[in-house]
Amino acid sequence: MTAAPSPATLAPTALIDSDHPAVIEFARRATAADARERAVELYYMVRDGFRYDPYRVDLSVEGLRASRVLECGYGWCVPKAALLAAAARASGIPARVGYADVRNHLSTERLRNILKTDLYIWHGYTELWLEDGWVKATPAFNLALCERFGIHPLNWDGRDDSLYHPYDREGRRHMEYVSQRGSFDDVPVTRIAADFAAMYPGWAKAPDEGADFAQDAAREAR
């Protein structure tokens, strides 16, 4: 985690499209002069500005592109991490995306029926180069969803890694990191799509009409 950033961590890519006009405009909303403070602004803008929705997963290049989250107003962990990386690059902050396999002990019945497991592969987060080091940030779960699920929101100060809490507010198991996939200068869409097709053949299908992850979470958390 100490290797200095390469030029690729500031360059636009097919999926971390930091040169997209909507991404550039979004990044400009973070106005702090200090890079760390600006990164923190961007983190909360991505975390809370776009709802987390694992019911609508598009594994195409277009579906995983950072600018797609801006277009749709929602995303799941992989594209939301890409958006934070793209916004950081557009703001002059080196960034890349990282992935881990995690065991999520809190989910919804609908999602458990789709996945047939509580193991989530290729869970996405962002790594930003701040104050001479790489720092992890996980902008997936928006604040409103955390409150409905009864889990601690992931706050971030730009200095310490922002990773999921192992327990929720009631002391129940929430998230367990099983293995690391590594860090990438662009979203490895081909690998993610192939592994998801093998692991979760039903996840990328169209959701049931009217399916709402936040509503399901709120109802089942009661």
3-state secondary structure the chain: CCCCCCHHHHCCCCCCCCCCHHHHHHHCCCCCCCHHHHHHHHHHHHHHHCEECCCCCCCCHHHHCHHHHHHHCEECHHHHHHHHHHHHHHCCCCEEEEEEEEEECCCCHHHHHHHCCCEEEEEEEEEEECCCCEEEECCCCCHHHHHHHCCCCCCCCCCCCCCCCCECCCCCECEEEEEEEEEECCCCHHHHHHHHHHHCCCCCCCCCCCCCHHHHHHHHCC
| Sign of the torsion angle spanned by Cα atoms 211, 214, 217, 219 | negative
Q: Average pLDDT in the 150-160 region?
A: 91
Q: How much of the chain, in percent, has pLDDT values that exceed 70?
A: 94
**Do the beta carbons of residue 134 and residue 128 sit within 8 Å?**
yes
pTM for the structure as a whole: 0.94
**Amino acid 192: pLDDT:** 97
Encode pLDDT of 13-72 as tens digits: 999 999 999 999 999 999 999 999 999 999 999 999 999 999 989 999 999 999 999 999
Tens of pLDDT, residue by residue over 77-111, are 999 999 999 999 999 999 999 999 998 866 788 88
- Residue 68's pLDDT is 98
Domain definitions of the chain by residue range: 7-220
Looking at residue 1, its pLDDT comes to 47
Which whole number is the average pLDDT over 180-193? 97
Domain 7-220 in CATH 3.10.620.30: yes
Whole-angstrom distance, CA of residue 91 vs CA of residue 130: 13
Report the pLDDT value the prediction gives residue 210, as an integer from 0 to 100.
Answer: 76
What band does 209 get if pLDDT is binned at 50, 70 and 90?
low
- How far is Cα 187 from Cα 64, in angstroms, rounded to an integer? 8
Least confident range of 81-95, 138-152, 169-183: 169-183
